[in-house]
Chain A
């Protein structure tokens, strides 16, 4: 079974009406998750395995079982790559379970992750500088323009 969890405390997230907003403090990136992406994210709070997530979503969305599982697996891989979730094992689950009778299911749409901000460059080392005789970095010969805000 593949087990996943939200990558706390590096990730801070909350749900606002119909969209989750998540922040990864390692990268400084902000993410939006709505629609089926939100459904997967909400499932992660309660489920830790891809099969369980697929089983839960198959009760809410109409989709071929294999397509649903494939889309969820791909989305979880994306969340892992972005550092939003971590996998504790990468073995995929065998099945998704049968859809139970219940309210009418919505059409399944492949989940997408919205990326809003990239502060990654601020977390990189800036080695291109010289230190002067006082030991402090010297101002670059051609100073950058003021871009504080």
Chain B
């Protein structure tokens, strides 16, 4: 049977050395075999709970998301609802299931207990083409066979999927799948118009979300506040990935017009306020635009906003560490793409004042010089 063949290839038998059990290293092909086994398990779950499929665009590509039953579908499609597309002939397929709602357990892992890195990587079960990560504490397994463009997302129960996980579905899968392609998910917001716009970057707490959301009620359009997709081929271009905005509860007072649209109001003691921007105003979403520059917000506490040129190295150091930290399994290819992006676009510091209306004016003024 296929399962037994997978088991023997994975090499679940151990050996003893000096009285100590030594877990064997993974057999060649073991990572890919595990992804295949995960897919078979998903198929079983879908047969029990019902298969549901949704298609989405990401950049010039399309993904098909398969769900075993409705529980996971509800969690993972809202943040990319603005990118819904046909699921026919997808470039990437990701299958989602949980054991509680489907009644199907994930087979025991073929690795020992001491291979879980803090990053989520399963040591010894990641190659250039296969990524297998398990997030301890959240019990989330993500695995992908890049060569076959298919991945599986599993968790014991849909009830424990954190809110922030729902705000950026497929983030690691998309990052891994794009590793050898020209696109790159980046930790940045993006606002602009069809002719061009700006990336807004910086670590959490630097004013990126405030700067991005301050543009919602202006002539600028919104491509994202947390993660977007950057392309360098043929020119720097950004694609929207997620329509969410996550606001620190302490900053919610700055956006009273968004308060009615907060979806997790009862959990703001533990979570950022989560808003789906299309629910506020779907006309403010934009699918993408040419990148005319990158902005590093600096919160001043003063009233007025002003812009000045930034050093490219500062822009890189605002963008790259936070991007690579959040995208587990990131390798040198990602950093090279970020280097190239910074090399090709001007960088600015936006000294953001407390009069938020000045922020989009400053950005529009910058773009006026680049259109």
Residue ranges of A at the interface with B (Cβ–Cβ < 8 Å): 9, 12, 14, 16-21, 23, 25, 28, 30, 32, 34, 116-117, 119, 121-127, 129, 131, 134-140, 143-146, 148-149
- Check A137/B113 contact, CB under 8 A, given A16-B343, A123-B118, A148-B165: yes
Q: Verify if B342 is at the interface (C-beta below 8 Å from A).
A: yes
Residue of B nearest to A132 (CB): B156
Q: Verify if B40 is at the interface (C-beta below 8 Å from A).
A: no
List the A side residues contacting B137 at CB < 8 Å. Answer: 139-140, 143-144
Residue of B nearest to A16 (CB): B312
* B308 CB, nearest partner CB in chain A, Å: 15
Chain B's interface size range is 35 or more
In residues 220-265 of chain B, which contact A (Cβ within 8 Å)?
Answer: 226, 246
Q: Is the CB of A30 within 8 A of B317?
A: yes
Q: Pick the most buried of A32, A123, A129, A149: most chain B CB atoms within 10 A of its CB.
A: A149
Per DSSP, are chain A's interface residues mostly helix, strand or loop, or mixed? loop
Among A28, A136, A146, which residue has its beta carbon within 8 angstroms of that of B162? A146
List the B side residues contacting A19 at CB < 8 Å. Answer: 311, 313
- Check A12/B116 contact, CB under 8 A, given A139-B137, A148-B162: no
- Check A149/B326 contact, CB under 8 A, given A136-B139, A137-B136, A144-B137: yes
Q: Verify if B271 is at the interface (C-beta below 8 Å from A).
A: yes
How many contacts between A and B, using CB within 8 angstroms? 127
List the A side residues contacting B342 at CB < 8 Å. Answer: 16
23 pairs, CB–CB < 8 Å, chain A vs chain B: A9-B332, A12-B336, A12-B339, A14-B343, A16-B312, A18-B313, A21-B313, A23-B332, A30-B321, A34-B313, A123-B117, A125-B114, A126-B116, A126-B117, A127-B113, A131-B113, A135-B109, A137-B134, A139-B139, A139-B160, A145-B270, A148-B164, A149-B164
List the B side residues contacting A135 at CB < 8 Å. Answer: 107-109
Q: Is the CB of B271 within 8 A of A134?
A: no
- Please name 7 further chain A to chain B contacts, defined as beta carbons within 8 Å, in addition to the given A16-B343, A21-B339, sorted by A numbering: A23-B324, A117-B317, A122-B118, A124-B118, A139-B137, A139-B138, A149-B246
Residue of A nearest to B110 (CB): A135
Residue of A nearest to B105 (CB): A134
Q: Is the CB of A12 within 8 A of B335?
A: yes
List the B side residues contacting A12 at CB < 8 Å. Answer: 332, 335-336, 339
Q: Verify if B83 is at the interface (C-beta below 8 Å from A).
A: no
Q: Verify if B163 is at the interface (C-beta below 8 Å from A).
A: yes
